[in-house]
Structure 1
């Protein structure tokens, strides 16, 4: 636990909340003059035992439950980055999931311009793999430039003719990503619908139910059939927009040829 950082974050955000906004009256005579909610008022609003919040803010609550942290974060109006900081300060680990179910569903509009400026195949999808932004190189990848609305559904159900060696090079590596996403976003209707469609598909269902480890796509190389350039390989670069946890920027560096003949770039390290 990082007591100093935890105390600073909670005190700062608690001070921004007017007691009157939650039905409390501010004392007019002698007594407390501090800005914002009192620690006792936080306990009342969260329906916690008196002194619970004081223990948290003072750093005297080892391993506080994430339910308490989530309730405090929502009461204080924390954003997703502040939620991550709160969990890191209090638990020394990242949160088990997003603070709000709607997080990861939108990104700043400038991302479209940024993606258009990338000379490789590039796109951004949200936490449900719905497409948010893409460039012309991405559109050219598909027959008729018919860009899919959801890249997860396309990779697992609709894109088998484009994704070479789909049964071995794509499906077993993509399915665990869906499973991992559902573990942190169990109420996501889009992901649940994709899972339902997968379980109804006799070709994909056995691969999904078999289970597998979660391989992150960053740096991976996979074969595909480009609509304009024919057979080739793509090397994946994956990143996440900071304001949208669960969303992802994917850049695909395309190398033509049925066989993987290009030299793989070495790892980059600062010396």
Structure 2
């Protein structure tokens, strides 16, 4: 994805959410032509010229210093996550699209996922494709999808597509809107780190076309990583569950993450998870046959 329009759109969205009085500027009435801060107001408060800030917003200042970016972030009252996102957008120079090989999971990682046993665990690729899962993650998140689906390149379940386009997944999350917002915020951050991966543009374009809810959330320009959260589930087989979800980066695997779900020991959710484990172990499973990377 070309970072130049992304940078400008992000900065304009952050300017629009601030009112002059929020940061101590005095206004003297009259109708303002743009919502939020004007470019010249932001430039003045950040200590740069209007021309320089305009070029930055247009993606024409690839060598902007950290001091300038931090000054702009301070005026816009960006969170730490948004500040990091701004630096990522400003630093990434557009490059020619490269051919991207289908993601594979190392054999050691695959064995680790299986070793979680009755704890739901899966591996998520950089664009949100589910690369492998154990029988419990499959039973919890997408029992209506073939267990071997992650092994079929081009047909892999994708987290964002499931959330926005799959009616079973929409029913699964008790607070679907919160899950949808978190999915988009995480996807936008990840896409900014990999501007030369054409799969992001394809994914975003497809979801924008088929989901108005995704299009609205994507246009908001909000960013936040998915690291840990507690989710309420309404599972079709075992009912309500409250599960803690941890996402762990696989440092040497180019953006892949392990996602693990746990219930509080002794809780009703823990009992429901054990029941789901019994149901999953009783169901016949075809193991996916995929090429693993050593």
What TM-score do the two structures reach when normalised by structure 1? 0.52
Q: Which of the pair has the greater relative contact order for Cα pairs under 8 Å at 6+ separation? A: 2
Q: Compute the displacement of 1:145 (Å).
A: 5.0
**Residues 190/224 of structure 1: CA separation in 2 closer, same or farther (3 Å cut):** farther
Out of 98, 113, 116, the position equivalent to 2:114 is: 116
- 1:54-203 matches, cutoff 5 A: 102=100, 105-118=103-116, 119-141=118-140, 142-146=142-146, 149-158=157-166, 159-167=169-177, 169-200=178-209, 201-203=211-213
Task: Tell me the alpha carbon deviations over residues 47-85 of structure 1, each in whole angstroms, 9 at most, x when there is no partner.
Answer: xxxxxxxxxxxxxxxxxx8xxxxxxxxxxxxxxxxxxxx
State the Cα RMSD in Å: 3.0
Q: Give the distance between the partners of 1:107 and 1:138, measured in 2 at CA.
A: 16
Question: Which of the pair is proportionally richer in helix?
Answer: 2
What TM-score do the two structures reach when normalised by structure 2? 0.48
Cα pair 1:122 1:137 within 8 Å, conserved: yes
Task: Tell me the alpha carbon deviations over residues 11-55 of structure 1, each in whole angstroms, 9 at most, x when there is no partner.
Answer: xxxxxxxxxxxxxxxxxxxxxxxxxxxxxxxxxxxxxxxxxxxxx
Local SS of the residue matching 1:186: coil
- State the partner residue of 2:252: 243
Local SS of the residue matching 1:249: strand
Cα pair 1:156 1:171 within 8 Å, conserved: yes
Q: Compute the displacement of 1:116 (Å).
A: 0.8
Local SS of the residue matching 2:191: helix
Q: Compute the displacement of 1:226 (Å).
A: 2.3
Q: Give the distance between the partners of 1:203 and 1:257, measured in 2 at CA.
A: 33
Task: Tell me the alpha carbon deviations over residues 184-217 of structure 1, each in whole angstroms, 9 at most, x when there is no partner.
Answer: 2223233222211222222221122122231x32
**Residues 133/117 of structure 1: CA separation in 2 closer, same or farther (3 Å cut):** same
Cα pair 1:104 1:247 within 8 Å, conserved: no
Q: Give the distance between the partners of 2:240 and 2:99, measured in 1 at CA.
A: 39
Instruction: Please list every run of 5 or more consecutive structure 2 residues that lacks an aligned counterpart in the other structure.
Output: 1-62, 64-90, 148-155, 270-294
Instruction: Please list every run of 5 or more consecutive structure 1 residues that lacks an aligned counterpart in the other structure.
Output: 1-64, 66-94, 259-271
Cα pair 2:105 2:132 within 8 Å, conserved: no
Cα pair 2:127 2:187 within 8 Å, conserved: no
Number of residues of Structure 1 aligned to a counterpart in Structure 2? 162
**Residues 209/187 of structure 1: CA separation in 2 closer, same or farther (3 Å cut):** same
Q: Compute the displacement of 1:162 (Å).
A: 1.4
Task: Tell me the alpha carbon deviations over residues 98-146 of structure 1, each in whole angstroms, 9 at most, x when there is no partner.
Answer: xx87489333112111101113110002112222221010111124354
Cα pair 2:129 2:159 within 8 Å, conserved: yes
Local SS of the residue matching 2:244: strand
Cα pair 1:128 1:190 within 8 Å, conserved: yes
